[in-house]
Structure 1
Amino acid sequence: MEKKADCEKAIRSLCHEWAKETGFQISSGVQPHFSDFKTWLRSNGHARYLNFRSTIGASDNAEIWFDEELKQTWRN
């Protein structure tokens, strides 16, 4: 199991890598799907960053970080 702080740092960084790789642009008005990001994480060997202790659940924390990094917090 990974440390939450390490996972947060990695996921926040990987959000931007995913956005670049998929062509997502914050200014486009398109809403990115966290499930697509999770699939990408798993496909690229980064699934370990979804395995940490969290009171709300690792996936929920990761989705919050995803939304914050991609300026989508208005959806929460």
Structure 2
Amino acid sequence: MLRFADEHSPQLTLYGEIGVKKGEAEAQMPALIEKWAKEAGEPWPPDGLYHYGFGSFWTWMQNGPHYSYTKFRAVPHARYVTEMWFDKITRQTWRN
């Protein structure tokens, strides 16, 4: 049976991968980053002094059950946009 995605369910991307809408991914980022920080033993909440590694977070998302949050349409691409959100949430915008 063919099922059409509603606004809250994953959808196929251009490459046939399951993804979410950009707005949904952005809304979930604070919770996902906090979950990652706790699982990785990173200090939380951010105080602007600790340097969090985006690469570690991105790998955690891609290799776990949150993979669909790495697949959304964005310019230039989802990884770049997610890194900007990550820097803002972890108070590392000075790096940009």
TM-score by length of 2: 0.70
3-state DSSP of counterpart to 2:47 = helix
The equivalent of 2:11 in structure 1 is none
Q: How does 1:1-76 map to 2 (within 5 A)?
A: 1-25=19-43, 26-27=46-47, 29-76=49-96
Identity %: 36
Over aligned residue pairs, what C-alpha RMSD do you find?
1.6
State the one-letter code of the partner of 1:19: A
Measure the CA separation in 1 of the matches of 2:24 and 2:48: 30
Gaps of 5+ in 1: none
Structure of higher CA gyration radius: 2
**Residue 22 (structure 1) shift:** 1.7
Of structures 1 and 2, the one scoring higher in RCO (CA 8 A, sep 6+) is: 1
Measure the CA separation in 2 of the matches of 1:28 and 1:58: 24
Which has more helix, going by share of residues? 1
State the one-letter code of the partner of 1:46: H
Which has more strand, going by share of residues? 2
Measure the CA separation in 1 of the matches of 2:41 and 2:49: 13
Corresponding pairs, count: 76
State the one-letter code of the partner of 1:12: P
Kindly provide the CA deviation profile for residues 34-65 of structure 1, in whole angstroms up to 9, marking residues without a partner as x: 11001111232111101111122111110011
